[in-house]
Structure 1
Amino acid sequence: MIRLCDFSWTRCCRFAARWFPSLVGWWVLVGAIATLNLIFIPQALADNYNKESLINVDFSGRVLTDSSFTKANLRSSNLSHADLRGVSFFGANLEDVNLKGANLSFATLDSARLVGANLTNAILEGAFAFNAKFEGATLDGADFTDVLLRQDTQDKLCETATGTNPVTGRNTRETLDCF
């Protein structure tokens, strides 16, 4: 990102108070700053991998919170022990992906394809996975607390769910509300 101005927030506020005393003027200045990036603001940690081909890529142990992998192809990639909280995997191909020990809390997995994925000890608490496909996925110790799933998908996951998550201490079958 190119810095167009080296204002500190304090200098900026003083400048605004002097030249834009009205509330409307202040918001005009704030809008201009946001639009033109007049003040250096560090880039967000979130990355955009939308629609990228990331086959066999190693993301293990990485912090990727709030990143987006919408419609990305991550087939056979390694995301083990990655921090994936709030990540969007909407429509992504996660076939044979290693998500062992990954934190997918509040991630979007809707329409994702997790066929053959390794979800051993993964945390999916609060994730949205309504139309996700989990055929052949390994679920040992996965935590599905408050995950939004279709009933038929939930029933299918209950057939193979086993174990207890070592981080949350929750039983996989209980988090899936298996009866």
Structure 2
Amino acid sequence: MKYILLILTFSLLFMGCADKNAFSKFKMQEDQELSATSLQGSKIKMGEDVEGIFSAIYLNDVYPNIYTVNEYFYVYLYLKEEKKMYDTNSLDEIKLTIKLNGKLPMKIKKLDAENKFSHLASVRSEWKRYYLVAFEKEEKNTINLVLETDQSSSDALTYQKGEE
């Protein structure tokens, strides 16, 4: 009798879990799903020391109907030390540069922590800095995005451009 009760209890337990799982609670919009596949990150290292974290979303993959003329990235980073992003319109000393296939950007726009791309990133904080970065259109199908400081560098974030 107690074996039948034990089997019945486990059967009810497993049947109760069959229709629901953790993934049924995740409802993502299409752009969030695309950004999750496009999101890449890298540590910014100086020797063996980690100086920060660099993450980017390739917006041309997320919004292919909007970003068609140039290459656009939503970049967010955390650095231990305050650095200034290279500005193509300024002659200030370069402290932090971002390059796509070795080329500097045509435009960098600093964004607030809450911006029109915030929903694409799973984590938002006041400690990170957010940028919209635009580069001239690349002819190559494989593109490499690298962040460099005056003494350190991130690994290259490699993106495969979609078929056009």
Q: Same fold (TM over 0.5)?
A: no
TM-score by length of 1: 0.27
Structure 2 length normalisation: TM-score?
0.28
Which is richer in strand?
2
